[in-house]
């Protein structure tokens, strides 16, 4: 019963996309459950098409190419969903590589827990990072969770997940295209799922590796992302017009910014490698305070495409 589609959005990352796809071609324990692998090319020029054609002959399952020329992470995910009718949707990012039993573990966890959305652990890799930053960055790009498979209280991001389409991904475009440039499309999606009584699960054995490219394996990039993550709770509350919750998150953020900021300053004076962790916590606190429109950092869509074009021109 082929009932699972795997969706991979991509934007000009041919080498890492090939690594991700080859990891999917090596999946075990899934029998005939995979309906198709859908690669969504978010580059206006369609640069991923040739690579997909070259790999198609190696794919044990149908490998579909979808062109979504408007750059944006939410738009790309919606385009992938439109290309398949599978009732179960797995998401893998193009900078990730799945372990051999990744999908089997996600499926088993969903069937065991009955969750609407299941997530798995991520091992961060930052091979080009500065030595003092590498432990922090590999934790930053990684994801930890419970030691055992089961239900969890809070969701994680879409990368490395399996969702029940009918309940977790309702409608033709469940991801909000307003998040195309800054990300956070999964925050809104999961907040709505929680409000509908949805359940979240954890698959302890569904491991993937995430490889941070050189331009992301920097303190500046990580802190900008930490700031954006900090904005999430305040923005979600504001979207629901829950102003008491917004105020509560802002108060929490102010406390975090002050406490962790002083700690970060102290560790900076002694040049402790642990200062990066306190920079991160401070940035998340500040994000809860400055959640308003105009403060969002942009990591995806047109901004990322412009960065790639500048890098190519150099």
Give the DSSP letter string of 220-239: HHHHHHHHHHHHHHHHHHHH
Q: How far apart are CA 159 and CA 93, in angstroms?
A: 5
Which of 249, 231, 220 minimizes the C-alpha distance to 287? 231
pLDDT at 313 over 60: no
Confidence of residue 240 (pLDDT cuts 50, 70, 90): confident
Mean pLDDT of 209-219: 92
DSSP, collapsed to helix, strand or coil, labels residue 204 as coil
- In a 10 Å sphere around its CB, with 0-12 CB exposed, 13-18 middle and 19+ buried, how is residue 174 labelled? buried
pLDDT at 298 over 90: no
Q: How far apart, in Å, do the first and last CA atoms of the chain sit? A: 49
User: In the prediction, which pLDDT does 301 show?
Assistant: 63
3-state SS of 185-197? HHHHHHHHHHHCC
What is the residue whose two structure tokens read 């738009």? 75
Confidence of residue 304 (pLDDT cuts 50, 70, 90): low
User: In the prediction, which pLDDT does 203 show?
Assistant: 98
Cβ(265)–Cβ(274) below 8 Å: no
User: In the prediction, which pLDDT does 310 show?
Assistant: 63
Q: Are strands 63-67 and 122-125 parallel, antiparallel or unpaired?
A: unpaired
pLDDT at 300 over 70: no
DSSP secondary structure, 125-142, as one string: E-TTS-TTTHHHHHHHS-
Which of 233, 145, 126, 119 minimizes the C-alpha distance to 187? 233
Domain ranges of the chain: 4-211, 219-313
Tens digits of per-residue pLDDT, 3-58? 999 999 999 999 999 999 999 999 999 999 999 999 999 999 999 999 999 999 99
For the chain, the average pLDDT equals: 93
Which of 290, 42, 47, 16 minimizes the C-alpha distance to 177? 42
Which residues fall within 8 angstroms of residue 227, CB to CB, at 6 or more apart? 283, 284, 286, 287, 290, 297
Q: How far apart are CA 25 and CA 4, in angstroms?
A: 14
Tens digits of per-residue pLDDT, 145-203? 999 999 999 999 999 999 999 999 999 999 999 888 777 788 889 989 999 999 999 99
Confidence of residue 303 (pLDDT cuts 50, 70, 90): low
pLDDT at 107 over 90: yes
What Rg value do the Cα atoms of the chain yield, rounded? 19
- CATH number for the region 4-211 comes to 3.90.550.10
Q: How far apart are CA 35 and CA 90, in angstroms?
A: 11
pLDDT at 80 over 90: yes
Tell me the backbone φ, ψ of residue 118, rounded to 5 degrees.
-120, 140
Tens digits of per-residue pLDDT, 202-212? 999 999 999 99
What is the pTM (predicted TM-score) of this model?
A: 0.89
Q: Are strands 34-41 and 63-67 parallel, antiparallel or unpaired?
A: parallel
Mean pLDDT of 238-256: 96
pLDDT at 314 over 60: no
């Amino acid at each position: 019963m082929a009932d699972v589609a795997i969706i991979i959005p991509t934007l000009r990352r041919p080498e890492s996309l090939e690594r991700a796809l080859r990891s999917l071609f090596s999946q075990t324990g899934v029998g005939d459950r995979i309906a198709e692998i859908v690669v969504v090319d978010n580059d206006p020029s369609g640069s991923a098409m040739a690579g997909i054609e070259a790999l198609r002959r190696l794919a044990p399952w149908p490998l579909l190419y979808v062109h979504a020329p408007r750059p944006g992470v939410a738009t790309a995910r919606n385009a992938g969903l439109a290309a398949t009718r599978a009732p179960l949707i797995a998401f893998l990012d193009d900078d990730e590589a799945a372990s051999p039993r990744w999908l089997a573990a996600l499926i088993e966890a969903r069937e065991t827990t009955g969750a609407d959305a299941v997530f798995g652990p991520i091992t961060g890799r930052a091979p080009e990072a500065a030595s003092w930053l590498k432990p922090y960055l590999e934790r930053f790009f990684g994801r930890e969770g419970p030691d055992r498979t089961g239900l969890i209280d809070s969701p994680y991001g879409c990368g490395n997940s399996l969702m029940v389409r009918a309940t977790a991904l309702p409608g033709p475009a469940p991801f909000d295209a307003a998040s195309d440039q800054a990300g956070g499309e999964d925050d809104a999606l999961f907040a709505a799922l929680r409000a509908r009584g949805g359940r979240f699960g954890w698959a302890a054995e569904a491991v993937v590796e995430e490889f941070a490219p050189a331009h992301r394996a920097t303190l500046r990039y990580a802190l900008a992302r930490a700031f954006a993550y900090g904005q999430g709770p305040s923005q979600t509350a504001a979207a629901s017009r829950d102003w008491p919750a917004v105020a509560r998150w802002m108060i929490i953020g102010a406390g975090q910014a002050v406490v962790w900021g002083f700690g970060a300053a102290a560790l900076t004076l002694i040049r402790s490698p642990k200062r990066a962790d306190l920079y991160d916590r401070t940035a998340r606190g500040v994000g809860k305070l400055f959640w308003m429109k105009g403060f969002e950092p942009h990591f995806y869509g047109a901004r990322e495409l412009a960065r790639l074009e500048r890098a190519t021109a150099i």
